[in-house]
Structure 1
């Protein structure tokens, strides 16, 4: 039998927006009789037309556009509208996954022969790009942070491309939020950890447990001088919800 802890977990803060509909966290709350709050620690802001003009990029000068997320797609077509630019019907769109590709229907008339997508993995997407390397000049839509490995891949393989930063990640204002009342906080991005310290420069972890998803997020927790209590994924669990549930069980 697991030894009972002096500070049992009764309240959890998940640094993401609250899921729509039912989620695994509902089962955790019911099973372990804990309260779970959701609060995104970061927000996405669109780059202004004035700032984008400084990059001197005309979307219609590119025959291919890369989208790694729906956010990227939304901000690209927002900027096209602000620039009063209509993309050519011959433009090819390369998307990381089918779900992102289908989202194109929100913005343009969907033409299968002009839309290409991977299976959701970076490996398959890189293979896709290599297959169509001769398709023309590429515009890579990205944020100011976390551009991933695609730009380096395009450079290494001598693609003709340009990055277009159309949105940026900024800390959420948490000044009216008391994070010290939670027994466990779950982070999913290094920027979430940075947001915590941005909002609370004098934050002290004390007995609060910290869970982090992904190697970069885990490293950000350690770099911030905090104790990492739960690293996800691992051999034991793949998801944050499963990891938290098991962790509570092991607390006794």
Structure 2
């Protein structure tokens, strides 16, 4: 194993505390950490939203598929000075989203629905279809259609969509990307950022790590080899999985 300092792209904001596991790994294994989020989301302006000719108040319910969508939807509601009625309904793709929703509304005065089997698309569809008299609005990320609309295509549910935010990729050069020995991905959007900046990207000898099954699936479908994967029962975090990889690599070099 080479003793040179190896460079790791960690697509997250730099941790404020020096006791982060990342810094401990860097010291022990000779790593140079580069904290650089590969993308961020930007709320559309009120004018950009109005250009879509969508009237939120002509709907009786909203379908919220993620915490990101929820954040930007309510930011737009505020920017538009729109007051959602007391009987407005909220259909959340998971309990996690439903709990996050409490940051924006008073739960006891609203009606919230989510699947008991967390993340179950079939259960979510069943819940929505039970309320087929509602006029649903599905907020989305610009140029990225949600799976919900396709899921409800063959039902009697009335659904319309609107964009509430767009994704902004980090400005990277092919040379910067090639300079890393390790690329870590925490979302499929990270791969999109790399491909946008470097359409001809080839993995070569780079070590790739990922968080989440969806991220892993996208990486493998793109023909990339994933060396480090989290969470697992043994390695619940990216740092734990990275440490295990480095330990095994060190043993193999002896």
Instruction: State the TM-score, normalizing by the size of structure 2.
Output: 0.76
State the distance in 2 between where 1:205 and 1:7 align.
21
Q: Could you tell me which residue of structure 1 aligns to residue 205 of structure 2? A: 207
Classify 1:130/1:19 alpha carbon distance in 2 versus 1 (closer, same or farther; 3 Å).
farther
- What residue number does 1:184 align with? 182
Partner residue in 1 for 2:10: 14
For 1:20 and 1:154, locate their aligned partners in 2 and report how far apart those are by CA, in whole Å.
43
C-alpha spacing 1:209/1:71, structure 2 compared with 1 (3 Å): same
1:107 aligns with 2:104: yes
Cα 1:231–1:126 shift into 2, 3 Å: farther
Partner of residue 156 from structure 1, selected from 151, 154, 157: 154
Matches within 5 A, 1:41-56: 41-56=38-53
- Residues of 2 paired with 1:8 and 1:120: CA distance? 48
- Counterpart among 95, 113, 135 of residue 116 in structure 1: 113
How many matched pairs?
Answer: 247
Determine the C-alpha separation between the residues in 1 that align with 2:227 and 2:73.
37
Distance 1:109 1:90 in 2: 12
- Verify: 1:39 aligned to 2:20, yes or no: no
Q: What is the distance in 2 between the residues matched to 1:53 and 1:140?
A: 15
1:60 matched to 2:61: no
Distance in 1, matches of 2:201 and 2:73, equals 37
Deviation larger for 37-46 or 77-86: 77-86
CA distance in 2, matches of 1:117, 1:127: 10
**Take 2:16 and 2:83, find their aligned partners in 1: how far apart are those partners?**
34
Q: Is the 8 A contact 1:143 1:167 kept in 2?
A: yes
RMSD of the alignment, in Å?
3.5
> What 5-or-longer segments of structure 1 have no aligned partner?
none
In structure 2, the partner of 1:170 is: 168
Shift of 1:58: 0.6
Alignment CA distance shift 1:36-1:156 (3 Å) = farther
Counterpart Cα distance in 2 of 1:94 and 1:192:
28
CA–CA distance in 1 between the matches of 2:208 and 2:194?
12
**Candidates 184, 193, 196, aligned match of 2:194:** 196
- For residues 80 and 54 of structure 1, what CA distance do their matches in structure 2 show? 15
